[in-house]
Structure 1
Amino acid sequence: MSSRHRFALTLALALSSAVPAARAEEADGVRWNGAVPTLRLAEGGFTLRPTLRLDADAGSFFGQEEPGGYRSGVNIRRGRLGARGTILRDFSYTFTWEFGGSTPNDYGNLFEAQIAYAGIEGATIRAGAFTLQHLPDFAGPSFDLPFLERALISNVAGSLASGTSRAAIGVEGNGAVGGAGARWNASAYATGGVASTPDDERQRGFAGRAVLLAVDRPGVQLQFGLDGAVQLHPGTSPGPESVRLRDYPELRVDSRRFLDSASIRAGSAWAAGPEASARLGPVTLEGVWQRVAVDAASGPDPRFEGWYVQALVPLVGAPRERSAESGTWKRPAPRGEGGFPGALELGARYSTVDLRQGAQGSRQSILTAVLNWYPTERLRLAAQYENGRTAVAGGGPDQDFQAVGLRAAFNL
């Protein structure tokens, strides 16, 4: 086990010393919740249940006039196997190994190893390697994401000090404000490196999010918030200290990334900006803007930006509902309607990120439409269309592309 993995597991175990008061519990043994077994021991003082996640993707790129564009392909985007449960009732743990990957060439990494303490009302202390509640695309479960991939700016900003599999320790909280239905969510973390990415073990940063559900009325919900992240020590390995911002074209069937700032010698970097979301009748809206700044070792300090807006509308079934725990919008419940099994949802998103600085870097903009079908709570089928453009700094030709992506996803 590498020292980075040991660091994540040490953080995860550091919170497990307190013992809450015993409470009455159901009989020990194996109990089934549908197809999911749960093992109970020590009068409920220890529980364990398996976790399984499978996302199988296929994608086809076309409409590329310039040579050397994106390649079509297939990918096991997520192939996760693990376990989760509770210890002494107020502690929860999760361990997950990733057999899938971001690209067809990326398989077999630790995805999550964390422990959390929820014995404080309205707050959870979490430590280990996990996905941080920073930016809407990361704050909720990935199975609730309406598009095949997170927006470009979410991955670019999250790469500094948050994202998935990040070694971190922090606190997450939520609660009510006044008596008119307003609610708040907040999170703050001290972070290290990413479990699946090489670094010199000294990467350090901070990340956080704060949102307020300001209006909560029948048919109208309005939420506003701020997200921020700072990388104090890049910890690049191998090579000198540097920051490199890049992402895939919101479809992970090819390893090429044309949205790329190139490596920038730097001592630190930060990203910050507002978010807003709403549910107006059946329609769910969301928008995020982030400024990304790099403290370059020499020359001018680059300043980048990116944003996205998206809209979701149910075609069959109920609209999305807000999660009080994460301050995000949960996938629609597959209750069915008029004899149609499950829930059917239509979504659209426009996202753009500009990483150009002088003669290097690029800008990418993508318009996306998606159709989601949730036949059951554990199954999702999705079809997505993209129309994008990559503009390369230095006067190179724009690279247009179109793509169709398909996904079959199962979550246990």
Structure 2
Amino acid sequence: MENAALLNAIIQNAIDGIITIDGRGVIETINPAACSLFQYSPEEVIGKNVFYLMPPPDRGQHDEYIRRYQHTGVPHIIGIGREVIGLRKDGSTFPFRLAVSEVAFSGRKIYTGFIHDLSKQKEAEEQLRDYAAHLEELVEERTQSLKESVMALQNAKEEVSLSLEKEKELSQLKSRFVSMASHEFRTPLSAIQLSASLIDKYAQAFNSDNIAKHVGKIKNAVGNLTTILNDFLSLEKLEAGKVNPAFSTFDLVKLSEEITEEMQIIAKQNQHIIYQHTGKESVVNLDQNLLKNCIFNLIANAIKYSGENTFVEFNTEISDAGCTIMIKDNGIGIPEKDQKHLFEPFFRAHNTGNIPGTGLGLNIVERYTKLMNGYIEFKSVINQGTSFKISFNRL
């Protein structure tokens, strides 16, 4: 009795549904778990054929199983792992795994069906399939997007390559033109300069102010054109990467004195260049030609943008920290709004008016200075003047 009570307690409290049927398929017992699954009370199903809990076509197949069993004596559903569909009282269905055991009891055979609900498992599988399908769609979309991106990149690459090739051709064409123009223009300009000097010499006997005036204009025009050609040629070489600094040791003071003497010749009336050096040393290790070009440009600007009867201060200093070069004028100054663009190529401040220039000089100075591992600074106040300082730190 105790064992029977224990067995009954196990059946009544089992998580899975348990149903027993006789050889004709009539339900004899049903536990609470099975009642919950099928939504019936025991009284509603006991005594009824088990196909009552099956939807078509399983219901018809069950009748065939019973007839076959009655004829052969071998139940078709004995075993584990067969998935079937259950029919609830409300007409809804659910999947479950059915395991059937044959039990000999009181001289007859009964069959026990163990019912394991698969609803949550099937729902999870469905969600997994939906998620997998969604992932496949995303992968397909991403793959298509990637293909389009790769194709776009390939097209862009081809366009860029074509553009670079055209740019290279244009750059080479520009380089050849600038080089040709510089050399071709230099010859007639040299002839004009020489002729103007000869006219000036031969006209001295006539002591004519008008002749001297016009010869001076010719010389100034030739000088401006020569400067423009030199600026374009320097820019072309910088853009082509053809400028490589050649460092050497030279006397900075001697070079500065020579530059001062040369620039004084082109200074305006009563415009004086005052040179001063600070420090016991005078020797530096830089590219002499590049540095000379930088100083020439800065002093030429100081002369150009300052009036007559003014001073241009030209200072050099060599100390333990390094070398500095300062050029200061008392000219028109640079408007504050223009100062951030000052070193851009072809840029000229808005207050330059009719003063000739290409807007390349300061860009070339800055780039030459950087090539020599230096840096350039400036301060300017409108109508009060401008100062430029080139610095090279001692290595």
Q: Which interval holds the TM-score relative to the shorter structure?
A: under 0.3
The structure with the largest strand share of the pair is 1
The structure with the largest helix share of the pair is 2
TM-score of the superposed pair, with normalisation by structure 1: 0.19
Larger radius of gyration: 2
TM-score of the superposed pair, with normalisation by structure 2: 0.20
